């Protein structure tokens, strides 16, 4: 208990220059908002991001002629394989990407050839 009290006291001391903390607290949400904006802005309109063994967005609708880019943010390789063999990427290591231009309309189901429970869809109109 004594140790805990000491730790609490230490913690109080550490936060004694309260002004900086106060400024941080006030700025916190603002910084958070910027970070969130940055995260959204980082994903381009026709981009599918692989995160946590998931394609996001799982369903993407684009116009004919659009190039879609897949980026792997996991620290495990994945790939992108169309069910009907229209496209197949090589293995994408961390931050590697694959692009494919959809020349015709249709629904293109795809999955990860290494982890086939990962599935996604591109609808080309």
Where along the sequence are the contacts to other proteins (CB under 8 A)? 52-54, 74-77, 79, 81, 83, 90-91, 93-94, 109-111, 113-117, 119
CA distance 34 to 21: 19
Closer residue to other proteins, CB minimum distance, 16 or 75: 75
Nearer to other proteins, 87 or 110 (CB): 110
Closer CB to other proteins, 55 or 102, in the complex: 55
CB 12 → other proteins: shortest distance, Å?
Answer: 27
The smaller minimum CB distance to other proteins, of residues 102 and 111, is found at: 111
Nearest CA to 46 out of 103, 88, 100, 107 is that of: 100
Q: How far is the CB of 15 from other proteins (least distance, A)?
A: 25
CA distances 59 to 24, 56, 87, 116, 123, Å, are 39, 8, 17, 16, 7
Give the CA diameter of the chain: 72
Q: Report the distance separating Cα 24 and Cα 1, nearest Å.
A: 31
């Amino acid at each position: 208990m004594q140790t805990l009290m000491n730790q609490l006291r230490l913690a109080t001391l550490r936060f004694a220059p309260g002004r900086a903390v106060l400024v941080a607290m006030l700025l916190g949400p603002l910084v958070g908002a910027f970070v969130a904006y940055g995260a959204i802005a980082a994903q381009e309109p026709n981009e599918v991001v692989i995160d946590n063994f998931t394609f996001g967005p799982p369903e993407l609708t684009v116009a004919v002629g659009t190039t879609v880019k897949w980026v792997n943010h996991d620290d495990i390789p994945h790939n992108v394989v169309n069910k009907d063999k229209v496209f197949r990427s090589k293995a994408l290591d961390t931050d590697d990407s694959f692009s494919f231009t959809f020349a015709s309309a249709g629904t293109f189901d795809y999955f990860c050839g290494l982890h086939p429970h990962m599935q996604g869809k591109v609808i080309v109109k």
